[in-house]
Amino acid sequence: MTEHPTSHEGRQPLGARSQERTRPRQQDAAPAASPATAAIPGPAPAPGAGAHPAASAANPGPAGLDPQAAARREGDRLRFVGAATRRIARGIDLDEIVLGLCRASVPTFSDAILVYLRDPLPVGDERPVSPFVLRLRRSDRLRLNEEETETSLEIERLRLPAIDPHGDLPPAAELCEVRSGGALAEVLRGVRPVFGDSAAARAALPELLGTGRTAPTGHRAILAPLRGRRRVIGAAVFLRGTERPPFEANDLLVAAQLATHTALGIDKAVLYGREAYIADELQRTMLPDSLPQPTGVRLASRYLPAAETARVGGDWYDAIPLPGSRVALVVGDVMGHSMTSAAIMGQLRTTAQTLAGLDLPPQEVLHHLDEQAQRLGSDRMATCLYAVYDPVAHRITIANAGHPPPVLLHLGGRAEVLRVPPGAPIGVGGVDFEAVELDAPAGATLLLYTDGLVESRLRDVWTGIEMLRERLAATAQLTGQDHSPPLEALCDDVLDMLGPGDRDDDIALLAARFDGIAPSDVAYWHLEPEETAPGRARRLARRALNRWGLDDLSDSVELLVSEVVTNAVRYAERPVTLRLLRTDILRCEVGDDAPQLPRQRRARDMDEGGRGLFLVNRLARRWGATRLSTGKVVWFEMPARGQ
């Protein structure tokens, strides 16, 4: 058979990493014991054969040993089992646990080991399929050098596709189907380890190792089922060569201990891996699949899950279009690394989207998020930064709740850390949040991020922020004074600043390039809520379109403006606002102080009204209505010329 991809060549065995473990020449005397086995007395070597340096760890020696020597050997056996189980328990994931079993067993307990696991491994209360398949997960054996004897070379042939005619250690099959009622199924059901020459194992081992393959003769093989908390999940085969004393009855107890601790560790690793996978998928599904494309700003984002030491976290980002061509930029981080953190993140993100839809000021959004976090639990805390960018006014309003400050990269290459009030984290309660309004010049790039980007075990958060600022400035210098770096490439370059030890937490990154909308591309009017307002709105829209060279849109835009303004005037008590914005599309916004949102309905043949929104829906590329704290805005978009 072919070499298993997870097998390790040249690994150092437990307790013998300071020196190479090899068998001595047959004519040599027994070598000096290694530090791990010096206290373990071994059996006297047979005439013409050297004593194996690790044989004493698991063999009490001849029956003629005096009681004190036998007691010492039993103590050594217990110490070996304790050290081996501790090594196995140190593993966190599946591969580490199986590797711990192999390195603890070879060469101290056996010359070679084969570890088979179910494929796939059942998780929790999942009902396994029958018949099930065992896959060779890992194998290990003694390393060889050019001084090895011919008998020792048989272990090296353990994984070859054909059986060595002169050896008695078998090659191993990659896959084995465990048939219900078969010999292997009976041994696995019995749970207890058995010698390879027992009646049960003589039938089970060929089934496990493959058709036509024989097990070693004598007590030189142990088949140990691996049973987890609910079911058998695999098997381990311990093998010894002919130069070493065979296994004894007490070695079955050792094999049982090793198998039990390995199986329980594998159960734990599989459950932990499934929980981490579910939490990671939960978090990813709660993040936006794609970012919107609002007018006057370009967006890019990145998300990196935490390293294996921290697993999943609660970081999120969002971009939410607002009335008036504005956009809300949100980045947050729920404290903790668990499925609970990911679930709370989803709840807070949904709450933030709902509050943004009400067009509340940033500080009010954080205040309501704080109240929501307290309703979720007393220990539900998070940091959050909420910003609203207005491309018409070229201004940005930012409120912060204990989050790292954003960094603004100017067009000329200067990067600055914005001074925003730090605020308290969400969930503390009883804290006021403060918002600041800052300039957002065209061509500048705002970078929002979570603390996983700038903080790690190797550096504090402010050192990381300064490194981020310097990295942004250096990247901007490469594109020159008059050009901003490409947004996607900028995000990748920022993540490249992370070193091997910098992935203690997950990372959310949101970059916004401010293009803005020029004043010449904006037309804005106030209309009194009277019967003449629709006609005046048509005339004003026609003049603006003529000035912009969009006369071919006049008829459609005038009709839709007239319908929307007519609905607004019917319910408004204060002046109605009309705004046209020209970018790659033409956007019309009509605002009034009535909170009721319009709903499209099907008008009957004799109805005089009810057709306005039907026309808007048929002629406009997109349309919608948004409730504001002071009323509502109804908007529609028309394709520009040539689109």
Report how far residue 192's alpha carbon sits from residue 187's, in angstroms, rounded to the nearest whole number: 8
Q: Residue 480: pLDDT band by 50, 70, 90 thresholds? A: confident
The CATH number linked to 416 is: 3.60.40.10
Distance of CA 1 to the CA centre of its chain: 35
Residues 538 and 434 in one domain: no
Kindly report the CATH number assigned to the domain that includes residue 211. Answer: 3.30.450.40
Of 244, 275, 306, the last residue of a domain is 275
Q: Give me the residues paired with residue 439 across strands.
A: 395
Alpha-carbon distance of 617 to 600, in angstroms, equals: 9
Are 478 and 539 contained in the same domain?
no
75 within domain boundaries: no
Q: Looking at the domain assignment, is residue 35 inside a domain? A: no
* Domain match, 469 and 539 both: no
Mean pLDDT of the chain: 80
Are residues 355 and 302 both part of a single domain? yes
Q: Of 150, 174, 318, whose CA–CA distance to 241 is shortest?
A: 150
Q: DSSP characters for 264-288?
A: HHHHHHHHHHHHHHHHHHHHHHHS-
* Residues 439 and 499 placed together within one structural domain of the fold: yes
Q: Do both 594 and 626 map to the same domain?
A: yes
For 63, 93, 284, 440, the CA distances from 271, given in Å and listed in that order, are 45, 10, 20, 48
Residue 247 shares a structural domain with residue 336: no
**C-alpha to C-alpha distance for 309 and 311, rounded to whole angstroms:** 6
Instruction: Say which residue the tokens 């908390």 belong to.
Output: 229
**Residue 44 falls inside a structural domain:** no
Q: Cα 181 vs. chain centroid, distance in angstroms?
A: 41
Q: Return the pLDDT at 231.
A: 83
Establish if 30 belongs to a structural domain.
Answer: no
Domain assignment present for 302: yes
Rounded CA separation 381/425 (Å):
6
Place of tokens 């401010």: 514
Q: Is residue 200 part of a domain?
A: yes
50 domain-assigned = no
- Gap between the Cα atoms of 434 and 54, Å rounded: 70
Q: Residues 131-141: what's their mean pLDDT?
A: 83
Q: Which position has the token pair 């590329």? A: 621
Specify the number of domains making up the chain.
Answer: 3
Q: Residue 410 pLDDT > 90, yes or no?
A: yes
Length of the chain: 643
Instruction: Let me know: does 26 contact 45? Beta carbons within 8 Å.
Output: no
Q: Which of 510, 540, 561 is the last residue of a domain?
A: 510
- The boundaries of the domain holding residue 619 are 519-639
pTM for the model stands at 0.65
261 with 316, same domain: the answer is: no
Averaged over 413-418, what is the pLDDT?
93
Q: What whole-number distance in Å separates Cα of residue 459 and Cα of residue 451?
A: 11
What are the tens digits of pLDDT across the range 422-459? Answer: 999 999 888 899 999 999 999 999 999 999 899 887 78
pLDDT tens track for 224-271 = 999 888 788 899 999 888 888 888 888 999 999 999 999 999 988 888
Q: What pLDDT was estimated at residue 168?
A: 43
- Give the tens place of pLDDT for each residue, 578-610: 999 998 889 999 999 998 888 776 656 555 555
In angstroms, the Cα distances linking 202 to 184, 195, 523 are 10, 9, 91
Token pair belonging to 245? 């004393």
Identify whether residues 264 and 300 lie together within a single domain. no
Q: Is 32 within the bounds of a domain? A: no
Angle between helix 339-357 and helix 362-376 axes, rounded to 10 deg: 140
Which of 510, 539, 566 is the C-terminal boundary of a domain?
510
By three-state DSSP, how is residue 227 classified? strand
Same domain? For 376 and 247 the reply is no
Coil, helix or strand at residue 102: helix
Of the pLDDT bands very low, low, confident and very high (cuts 50, 70, 90), residue 502 is low
